[in-house]
Structure 1
Amino acid sequence: MMRSLFMQAPSFDGYDGGAGARYQMKREVKSFWYPTWLAQPAAMIPGSRLIDAPAHDQSWDDIKHEVDDKELIVLHTSTPSFRQDIHTAELIRARNPRALIGLIGAKVAVEAQKSLEASSAVDFVCRNEFDFTIVEIAEGKPLAEVEGISYRAPDGQIVHNQDRPILTDMDQLPFVSPIYKRDLTIEKYFGGYLKHPYVSFYTGRGCKSRCTFCLWPQTVGGHNYRVRSIPHVIEEVKYVLREMPEVKEIFFDDDTLTDNLPRVEALAVELGKLGFGKPGFGVAWSCNAKANVPRKTLEVMKAGGCRLLLVGYESGNQQILHNIKKGLRVDVAKQFTKDCHELGIVIHGTFILGLPGETLETIEETIRYAIEINPHTIQVSLAAPYPGTFLYKQAMENGWFDGTDHLLTDGGTQIAQLSYPHLSSEVIFDKVEEMYKRFYFRPRKIGAIVGEMVRDFDMMKRRLREGVEFFSFLRHRKEAA
């Protein structure tokens, strides 16, 4: 095997670029997702090393020595971080001319030619899933024979090999948690709504939903939800409980774990057998869910220790949900949320402003909707037209934006890219701050947060820190505007 290094390159201060992050940017409170898509091939190559520079606040000078003896170096990249990642690749090339350098991620999966043309420092890019692709390269297989890559031939020509068949037997993949334990400091990973410290990993890949804005199912994961067997998942959970006793929450990062209701119920039952959901058991679990899970399934999940659901509501306007092919009815989402509140399942709700069909009236509808259903916490994002998504194609065809890949400010704050004849990007940008303020600065919500702090000293320290970060986030947004 080649001596291999997997890297999330240094980037903006506080920038969350991990592949688990649906939107790569700085967030309203400190948040870092695990670089799971890098950890997976790292787990398959003996002697590999994984570096996640942003989460560990590492600069190039902090990690440059790590590249000196490596034969294969793989960087995860994204549309917002691409220019910075290319710069890192060039620094690596200057320091270690012999290394084989490759890029992975949705950006290069859909723009392979353009990505390779950006710099001669990059030898290859991987398209679609890349776990076994990277393994074959590390084993020394000639690039010309590796399926699923585009590469730079010795004469400089860019060659696109045939696609690699999609992986269906997910139990072929090893656990990623041992790589976290070996190479990462898990206390560096935060989620504003997750207990700390937490661990996240996938129990399956792909998402049945067809949301026009969502990046990973349209570029890398696909729409066929392929899953690990429940015994395989349970064994990794046991590993975390045994080897990482400081962990307080396990987040299953599948795009939508509740896509398969019988399976999520069976998983919850098995987790319950381990002690999840029992009095005194110090670890909870959580997952991504669609706002249409029936109460029966929610009851089974709660009994099996489910604490929190991350739910993409996106909009409170039914027509916008139709426009983005969300496959969700507002009335169903309201009943789902009511059921979660009654069962004691916490919700972190995500919303997006500026989607096709947005008006001042629909934004107001979404703000009022969020206040009405009252998730515990929210995240408000700007519609982001990532290359490879239907939204990107739609926005280009309609002239809603100019196709630039500059989705962030130089400081890592998200920019409003889409602008409509009746609604400017500047107005959409300002409405994000208004939504945050109207949701959180209510007596009911302030009272709930204060009550949470009074009951738990650790939560008090955390919420005070997050409050400072939140107001700093709002200040930086004003500067960006």
Structure 2
Amino acid sequence: MRTLFLQAPSFDGFDGGAGSRYQAKREIASFWYPTWLAQPAALVEGSKLIDAPPHKIGLDAVAKQARDYDLVVLHTSTPSFDSDVKTIEALKAANPGLKAGLIGAKVAVQADESLKASPLIDFVARNEFDFTIKDVADDRDFAAIKGLSWRNGSGQIVHNDERPVVHDMDQLPFVTPVYQRDLKIENYFIGYLKHPYISFYTGRGCKSRCTFCLWPQTVGGHRYRTRSVGHVIDEIRWAKAAFPQVKEFFFDDDTFTDDAPRAEAIARELGKLGVTWSCNAKANVPRDTLKVMRDNGLRLLLVGYESGNQQILHNIKKGMLVDVAKRFTKDCHELGIVIHGTFILGLPGETTETIRETIDFAKEINPHTIQVSLAAPYPGTFLYKQAIENGWLDDANAELVNADGVQIAPLHYPHLSHSEIFHSVEDFYRSFYFRAPKIASIVGEMVRSPEMMKRRLREGVEFWRFLRSRADVAA
């Protein structure tokens, strides 16, 4: 079938295809690559990928293009689901013969509920969906496709047997040729990465058991399944030639550094290619491994610290000691590795005191930049189960964002209200960034680089708009 892969228009500036933990409109305009869509698109010959939000493509334009296709596959999420269903309705109004299906963590764990949301949804693909979608695009009988939940001719919902996850990850083709064919890479921007950048996965799954983390609990699983070193390097080599303008490659694996010997092996090959690269990391990477990666082009690590309170880290099964995180961060500073640190407020056990403790922790370890998120109980996660069982999540907050796509504080506790958690994000940012040493660091960075001057000024304007939008939410 002629197949269209779609990240649909929704909230203005909404990063719905995010490979990162949460789908939301961010404090500074940011877009991750739609790798979850690009991977099955790479398997389906003659397909097309439209990533509407970063390319500012409206629904009318998408509907017009949908007339040329037999099948549309949308990536959806809890925040964007209602909007994505309306997109399917609009596309089918333009092309009544179009088959429409959904992929993503939301439908992986709520297949029945998702199909019941609209009779126009023909199918959803559960769990790891790449080859499930290929089978659909190859026009196989729906009844024979593992991993598929679908609506039969009489309107009855059918759930087929599970599809085993992919173990030989080298079976999956490169996603970067799909980027080249269908995306404008300059539209993808992350404040802490060099621009333009490219991101993709070298493996799936994460052995950690963090209760809030979306992908390992819904799609990827807890076994880190990896591509071979040669396969990864071949894609980097291809992308380096295809995108000479790219200044940085980012590996979006949940925790690229979980397999330290493999990370070192990839690093040594990247060093031979002379590329600048970054990756996700847990705050426990040995100094020797950090040095090997640094010596071979590593510039930045994205590190999920989450909290500075040890009990909260235990509560969320982070498997991390605060003292280990401090030592790791000190090693990075000494080796010249930049850190973008991420933190979450409102996790189980949070109090006004632990919020202050985390803010003080962030100031002490002093990553170069930070992102502060609100605890988001996505369906399929242990945190969601806890929130439902304990009455921490109200129905009114279940979509996790407001009408503009801005993240809300969905959880509340007997001793800590939605409002207190929500406002603590602004307090965190102000406390961290409005310090003389941090201001001096940012100004120095701007003075040394005209390009950085333009970026930081733009980001400053966007950040102030973000704070104003939060004030509107609170009002």
TM class by shorter-chain length?
A: over 0.9
1:424 is the counterpart of 2:423: no
The residue type paired with residue 320 of structure 1 is I
The answer on whether the counterparts of 1:43 and 1:175 sit within 8 Å (CA) in structure 2 is yes
The corresponding residue for 1:360 is 352
| Deviation of the 1:49 alpha carbon | 0.2
User: Where does 1:17-416 land on structure 2 (aligned, <5 Å)?
Assistant: 17-276=16-275, 284-403=276-395, 404-416=397-409
Secondary structure (helix, strand or coil) at the match of 1:409 reads: coil
TM-superposition CA deviations, 1:114-154 (whole Å, max 9, x none): 00000011100000011111111111101011000100010
Deviation of 1:95 after TM superposition, in Å, equals: 1.1
Alpha-carbon deviations, 1:176-219, whole Å to 9, x = none?
A: 00100110010000101000000000000000100000000000
Q: Do 2:398 and 2:410's aligned partners in 1 also have CA atoms closer than 8 Å?
A: no
The one-letter code sitting in structure 2 at the alignment partner of 1:27 is R
Per the TM alignment, residue 69 of structure 1 is displaced from its structure 2 partner at its CA by: 1.7
Distance 2:193 2:12 in 1: 21
Q: Give 1:402 shift.
A: 2.1
Deviations 1:148-179 (A, max 9, x none): 01000100000000000110000000000010
- Per-residue CA distance 1:321-344 (angstroms, 9 max, x = gap): 000000000000000000000001
What 5-or-longer segments of structure 1 have no aligned partner? 277-283
Q: Residue 243 of structure 1 aligns to which amino acid in structure 2?
A: A
Q: State how far apart, in whole Å, the 2-side matches of 1:141 and 1:64 are.
A: 25
The separation in 2 between residues aligned to 1:428 and 1:104, in whole angstroms, is 31
The DSSP-based 3-state class of the residue aligned with 1:207 is coil
Q: 2:432 aligns with which of 425, 431, 439?
A: 439
Q: 2:449 corresponds to which residue?
A: 456
State the Cα distance separating 1:274 from its structure 2 match: 1.2
Residues 313-370 of structure 1: CA distance to partner in whole angstroms, max 9, x if unpaired? 0000000000000000000000000000000100000000000000010000000000
| Structure 1: distance between partners of 2:204 and 2:382 | 20
Alignment partner, residue 11 of structure 2: 12
d(CA) in 2 for partners of 1:19, 1:137: 24
- What amino acid is the match of 1:52? D
- Specify the SS of the correspondent of 1:28: coil
The amino acid across from 2:440 in the alignment is G
> Which digits, 9 at most, give the CA deviation of each residue in 1:44-63, with x for residues without a partner?
11110000001111111222
Amino acid in the other structure paired with 1:310: L
Structure 2 residue identity aligned to 1:294: P
Matched residues in 2 for 1:61 and 1:98: separation? 18
Aligned length: 473
The one-letter amino acid paired with 1:476 is: S
Question: Can you list the C-alpha shifts for 1:82-117, whole angstroms capped at 9, x where unaligned?
Answer: 000000011111111111110000000000000000
Amino acid at match of 1:349: G
Paired with 1:13 and 1:19, the residues of 2 have a C-alpha distance of: 15
The superposition leaves residues 243-279 of structure 1 with CA deviations (integer Å, 9 ceiling, x where unpaired) of: 1001000000000000101100111111111124xxx
Contact 1:19 1:105 in 2 (8 A): no
Question: Higher mean Cα deviation, 455-464 or 267-276?
Answer: 267-276
Distance of 2:54 and 2:283 partners within structure 1 = 30
Q: Secondary structure at the match of 2:54?
A: coil
Q: Would you say the 8 A contact 1:285–1:308 is kept in 2?
A: yes
Is the Cα contact below 8 Å between 1:198 and 1:250 reproduced in 2? yes
3-state SS in 2 of match to 1:55: helix
TM-fit CA distance, 1:398: 0.6
Cα distance in 1 for partners of 2:258, 2:65 equals 41
Deviates more, 1:13-22 or 1:358-367: 13-22
**Is this contact kept in 1: 2:13–2:29, CA < 8 A?**
yes
* CA-based RMSD: 0.7
In 1, the alpha carbon distance for the partners of 2:393 and 2:111 equals 22
SS at match of 1:336: helix
Residue 466 of structure 1 corresponds to 459
Task: State the percentage of identical aligned residues.
Answer: 69
Which one-letter code corresponds to 1:407 in the other structure? L
Query: How big is the shift at 1:21?
Result: 2.9
| More moved, 353-362 vs 403-412 | 403-412
Contact 1:408 1:415 survives alignment (8 Å) = yes
Question: Contact conserved, 1:9 with 1:85, CA < 8 A, in 2?
Answer: yes
Structure 2, unaligned stretches of length 5 or more? none
The one-letter amino acid of 1:206's match is G
Question: Does the residue aligned with 2:133 lie in a helix, a strand or coil?
Answer: helix
* Paired letter, 2:270: L
Bigger CA drift: 359-368 or 54-63? 54-63
1:281 is matched with none
2-side partners of 1:41 and 1:26: how far apart? 25
**1:320 aligns to what SS in structure 2?**
helix
Equivalent-residue separation in structure 2 for 1:231 and 1:42 (angstroms) = 22
Partner SS, residue 403 of structure 2: coil
CA contact (8 A) 1:219 1:388 kept: yes
Q: What TM-score, normalized by structure 2, do the two folds share?
A: 0.99
TM-score with structure 1 setting the length: 0.98
Amino acid at match of 1:37: W
Q: Distance in 1 between matches of 2:107 and 2:363?
A: 39
- Whether the 8 Å contact between 1:30 and 1:190 is mirrored in structure 2 is yes
Kindly state the Cα deviation for residue 233 of structure 1 after the two structures are TM-superposed: 0.3
Distance (Å, rounded) in 1 between the aligned partners of 2:394 and 2:334: 46
